[in-house]
Structure 1
Amino acid sequence: MGILKKINVFRRGLMRNLTKNIGKSGSQEDIILVDKTDIKRILICRPNGRLGNLLLITPLVQEVTEIFPNCKVDLFVKGTLAPIIFENYENIDKVIDLPKKPFKNLLKYLNVWISIKRQKYDIAINVDQNSSSGRLAVQFSNAKYKFFGDSYEESQILKNDYEHIAKYPVYNFRHYLTKLRFPKSNKIIAPLDLKLSPSEIAEGKEILNDLFHNDKKTICIFTYATGEKCLSGEWWENFYSKLKDEYANYNIIEILPVENVSQIAFKAPTFYSKDIREIAAVIANSNLFIGADSGIMHLASSAQTPTLGLFSGANIKKYEPYDNCSFGIDVNTYTRKDYLNTINSILNNGKLDNYSNAI
C-alpha cells in the first residue's frame, strides 16, 4: 500500500471515530410528524462521486419521493455525475456537489457547507452511517428532523437482504419514520432506476441495429473492473469462447470502459461511449448483461436489464444486482454447467418489458 493510500485510510478511520457518535446523544422520539404534507424540502447526503454508489441510492430516492410526493429533494454528493443520473427525477431540485479535491478547491468546499446551513430543510438524511461527511452534513443542516443513517437490530435480524447497500438505507429510514409515528412499511424495495426516457431507449435500439443489422437478441458483456474485482484476461477469453459457442443465435457485444480496454482483446463487436445514459440505453435494449462488480454493472441494473454480476470476493450480498431476474454469482464456485443454467434461466424468464411502449 502506497504512502498516500495509507494516509487516506488513516484519515477516514480518524474521521469515522470522530463522527460516529454524532446524532446519538439527542433523541427525536418526542417529535411527532403529524402531517406529511408539511415536508416540503429534504436533503439526502451521499458525499461520494462514484457511479455505482450514486446509482445505489436511487431506491432510497424513490422511497422518499413516494412517501413525500410533493417534496423537493436536494442531493449532497461529490463530483459531477449526480445531475446526469438524476436528470429525469422530477422531485430532485438541487445537486450540491463537493469538489473531489477539497484542498485544491477550498473556497468551493466551504461554500458547499455554507449552502447546506443556509437552506431550511424539513428532513436531512444520511445514506450511509459510516460516511463521516454525510453525518456531519446532517448535523450541520438546518433541518427539523435529522436521520443519521444508523442501523437497528430488528432489520438486521429479520431482513435476509439487509446487507445490500441499496436496501439497508431504505430499511433504516423506514424504521426512523416509525419513530415519527409513521406506519411500518413492508413494501418491496424499489430497484435501481436511471429513469431512461422513451427517446433514449429508442436511440439505444438504433445503435444496436446499426451494429448488427439483424433481429437477433443481444447479450452485453463488460470485461473490466477495478483492482481485485477485475477477472483475468485468460478467464474472460475462456468465458467468451464458451458463451459465443453456446449462444450463437444471439448477438454478443462488449461494452467498453472509459479506459477503452478489453479483457478479450476486442474479439467481440464493441460499443464505446463516455455518456453513461447512452451506454445504459444500449444495455436497456439487450436481453442480458454479464459483468464483474463495477459501476457499469449497477448501470445495467438501473437500465432494468437482467444482470448477471460476477464476484470473486465476499461482497456478493452487499453489491449483487437484484430485481428483473438478476443475480450475483461467485466465480470461484461456479462450473460451466452452473453458468449455463443461470444464463438460460434469465433468458427464459426474459426482461421486464418496462419500455415496450417506448420502442
Structure 2
Amino acid sequence: MKGITANVGKSTQKQQLNSIDPNQIKKVLISRPNHRLGNLLLITPLVQEVTQTFPNCKIDLFVKGNLAPIVFENYENIGQIIKLPKKHFKELSSYLKAWILIKKNHYDLAINVDKDSSSGRLSIQLANATYKFFGEVDQDAHSKYDDYNHIAKYPVYNLRSYLAQLGIPNEERPVPPLVLQLSDAEKTTGKEILDQLVSSEKKTICLFTFATGQKCYSKEWWVKFYERLKIEFEEYHLLEVLPIENVSQIGFQAPTFYSKDIREIAAFFSNTAVFIGADSGMMHLASAAQIPTIGLFSVTSIEKYKPYNANSYAIQTNESHLEDWIKIIHSALKN
C-alpha cells in the first residue's frame, strides 16, 4: 500500500496557493486512521495547534477504533469523529460509510498527520476540501529544529511550513504538549481512588511495569529496580498500575490500581507525583495527564517517542546505569 500511495497527493501541492484568512477556516479534517491509544494521544498537540491557528474552526477526526471519542471528550472544538472499524472485513458497511462521509462533508482544510500512512494519504485525496495537506516533510524544519523527529512534533512543524505558503506566519512558539483535558471532577475522582489505596500523608510514585513485545522489561530487571526504588524513595508510596492483562513484573509487591476506563486512569495519574514506565500507551497517557513522566527506552527511538511535558525525562536504559536513573527520578520529583 505504501508503494501504491507513494505519489498520492504530491501533484496537488503544485496548485496555486492563495493567501487565506485564518478566521475564514471554519471546518478542518485531521486524518489519523490508527486505533492505538498512544497514536491518538500523540495528535493532541496538532489539534491544539490547529485550534490556535484557526480559532473559529470545528475539527473532524478521521480515525480507527473507538478510543478517539474518549481521548477528545473535553475538546470543545471537535466536531464529528469518523471512525473506521478495527476489523474492516467484518464490518464492511461501517468501513465504507466512514470513507463516504469524508467525501460527503466539505472542509476548508484537510490534514494528513503521518506521511507514511497509506490510509491517511488516501483519505486526504478523497476528502472534499479546498486545501489539502498530505503531510510532506519540511526539510528546512527538519534541519532547523532538534526535536523535529518527535512523532507528536513533526506534524506540527510540517503544517506550519505548509500554512506559510498560504500566507499564515510560521510562529516561533513551542509545540503544544500532549493534553487529555481532564475536568476538575475527573481529577477529584482520581484523588478519591488514590486515597482509598494509600494514605494521603505521602506522595505517590506510579509504576507501570508492562509493555508490549520487546519493550517489556523482564521480571528480574523490574524487581531489581523496584527494590532500589523502595530504599531510595521511602518517603513516597510506590504503587503499580496494572495492564488489562493483569500481570505484574514485580509480582504484585506494591499496592495496585486497575481500570478499563482511560480517563479514570489518567485522572488517577494526575494525582501522583511521577510516572515511571516503558515506552507505551500508558506512558503517553501519563504525559497527557500532565504529570512528570519517566519513559524507559531499550528498543524504540527516544527522539521519536519520548515524553516532553514539564519535568519529564527519557532514559536509554541500555546506555546508562541504575544510579543514573535514580538521579533523574530525584530531578523530576524536585522540580
Do the structures match in fold with TM over 0.5?
A: yes
Q: Which amino acid aligns with 2:104?
A: R
- Give how far 1:29 is off: 5.5
Structure 2 residue aligned with 1:312: 298
User: Which range moved further: 207-216 or 301-310?
Assistant: 207-216
Question: What residue is the counterpart of 2:64 in the other structure?
Answer: 78
CA shift for structure 1 position 242: 0.5
Conservation of the 8 A alpha-carbon contact between 1:298 and 1:321 = yes
Which of 248, 252, 257 is the matching residue for 1:262?
Answer: 248
Amino acid at match of 2:64: K
Is the contact made by 2:215 and 2:300 (CA closer than 8 Å) also made in structure 1? Answer: no
Partners of 1:151 and 1:185 lie apart in 2 by 18
Aligned partner of 1:271 in structure 2 is 257
Task: Determine the structure 2 residue equivalent to 1:296.
Answer: 282
Amino acid of the structure 2 residue aligned with 1:77:
V
Q: 1:176-231 CA distances to partner (integer Å, 9 max, x unpaired)?
A: 00010111221001110000000011111111111112320110000000000000
Deviation at 1:245, TM superposition (A): 1.1
Runs of 4+ in 1 over 2 A off after TM superposition: 26-31
Q: Contact 1:293–1:311 (CA<8 Å) still a contact in 2? A: yes
Within the alignment, does 1:91 sit opposite 2:71 as a pair? no
Counterpart in the other structure of 1:21: 7
Contact 1:29 1:180 in 2 (8 A): no
Structure 2: distance between partners of 1:314 and 1:261: 22
Q: For structure 1, which segment, 141-150 or 328-337, has the greater mean C-alpha deviation from structure 2 after superposition?
A: 328-337
Q: In the TM superposition, what are the counterparts of 1:121-200 in structure 2 within 5 Å? A: 121-200=107-186
CA distance in 2, matches of 1:211, 1:258: 19
Q: What SS does structure 2 have at the residue aligned with 1:27?
A: helix
Whether the aligned pair in 1 keeps the contact of 2:138 and 2:157 (CA below 8 Å) is: no
Aligned twin of 1:203:
189
Structure 1 residue 30: deviation in Å?
A: 2.2
* Structure 1 contact 149–169 (Cα < 8 Å) conserved: yes
When normalised by structure 2's length, the TM-score is 0.98
Give yes or no for contact 1:255–1:270 (8 Å, CA) kept in 2.
Answer: yes
> What amino acid maps onto 2:105 in structure 1?
Q
Give, as a single letter, the amino acid of the residue that structure 1 aligns with 2:8.
I
The residue correspondences of 1:242-257 to structure 2 (distance < 5 A) are 242-257=228-243
State whether residues 256 and 270 of structure 1, in contact with CA within 8 Å, keep that contact through their aligned partners in structure 2.
Answer: yes
State the Cα distance separating 1:280 from its structure 2 match.
Answer: 0.5
Alpha-carbon displacement from aligned partner over 1:101-136 (angstroms, at most 9, x marks no partner):
111111111111111100000000000000000000
Alignment of 1:34-73 (within 5 A): 34-73=20-59
Compute the displacement of 1:57 (Å).
0.2
Deviation at 1:33, TM superposition (A): 3.4
Equivalence for 1:120: 106
| Count of aligned pairs between the two proteins | 335
Q: Does 1:109 align with 2:129?
A: no
What residue in structure 2 maps to residue 213 of structure 1? 199
SS in structure 2 of the partner of residue 205 of structure 1: helix
Cα distance in 2 for partners of 1:111, 1:36 equals: 31
Q: Distance in 2 between matches of 1:334 and 1:327?
A: 13
Q: Which amino acid aligns with 1:220?
A: C
Contact 1:312 1:332 in 2 (8 A): yes
1:251-287: CA deviation from partner (whole Å, max 9, x where unpaired): 1110111111111111100000000111011110111
Letter matched to residue 38 of structure 1: Q
Paired AA for residue 125 in structure 2 = Q
Question: 1:127 is aligned with what amino acid?
Answer: V
The aligned amino acid for 2:265 is: I
Q: Which letter does structure 2 place at the counterpart of 1:52?
A: G
Q: What amino acid is the match of 2:279?
A: D
Displacement of 1:314: 4.4
**What SS does structure 1 have at the residue aligned with 2:251?**
coil
Percent identity at matched positions?
A: 58
Counterpart secondary structure, 2:13 = coil
Per the alignment, in what secondary structure is the counterpart of residue 11 of structure 2?
A: coil
